[in-house]
């Protein structure tokens, strides 16, 4: 317990709006930093009066948008060209690509918003949005809304539950991540059997 308290004290002494922004940008990119370990301590710090909760939430949402935009651009300018050129080697011909594109774009707003709230998925959802050409302004607005909501939930957890919230999220983040990955794999298998 003392080690945790020392770590928390060191973290809280250093975190500010810029750190929140940069860490949440990493959290939404291909180099994920657990958002729980950024925003929950920020909420706890807000409770002590060292941070403004609204500004902490805004920094988290804006940072997430920056990181997600990098993934979006990667998908749009690298992933799309890669799949169209080399997809045949991955059993993705042009017809399958355009079918997947139409499926994603029919549900793009919901998928992008909800994806911002799910572990693992929130790190990756921006890539298909870019690959399949979701409109940039729509992507930015929905991503910012979802990321800001997630930041607000975590800040509220840190504000109202403090150290206990950090411990719970730290303890169960791994299990929750595995459950989400298992659900995604199960959905993929179901989708393949349904198509056949």
Instruction: Express each pLDDT in 19-71 by its tens digit.
Output: 899 989 988 887 767 787 788 888 988 888 889 999 999 999 999 999 999 98
- Report phi then psi at 5, rounded to 5: -65, -40
Residue ranges of domains in the chain: 2-195
| Axis crossing angle, helix 17-27 with helix 53-74, rounded to the nearest 10 | 30
- Specify the pTM: 0.73
């Amino acid at each position: 317990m003392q080690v945790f308290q020392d770590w928390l004290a060191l973290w809280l002494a250093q975190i500010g709006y810029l750190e929140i922004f940069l860490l949440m940008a990493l959290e939404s990119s291909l180099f994920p930093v657990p958002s729980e370990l950024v925003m929950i301590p920020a909420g706890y710090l807000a409770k002590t009066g060292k941070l403004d909760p609204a500004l902490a939430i805004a920094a988290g949402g804006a940072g997430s948008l920056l990181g997600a935009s990098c993934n979006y651009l990667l998908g749009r300018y690298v992933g799309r060209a890669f799949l169209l050129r080399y997809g045949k080697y991955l059993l993705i011909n042009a017809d399958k690509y355009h079918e997947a594109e139409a499926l994603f774009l029919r549900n793009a707003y919901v998928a992008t918003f909800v994806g911002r709230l799910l572990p693992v998925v929130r790190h990756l959802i921006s890539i298909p949005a870019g690959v399949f050409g979701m409109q940039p302004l729509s992507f930015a607005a929905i991503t910012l809304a979802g990321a800001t909501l997630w930041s607000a939930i975590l800040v509220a957890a840190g504000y109202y539950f403090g150290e206990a919230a950090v411990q719970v999220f730290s303890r169960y983040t791994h299990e929750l991540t595995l459950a989400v990955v298992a659900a995604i794999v199960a959905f993929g298998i179901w989708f393949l059997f349904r198509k056949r």
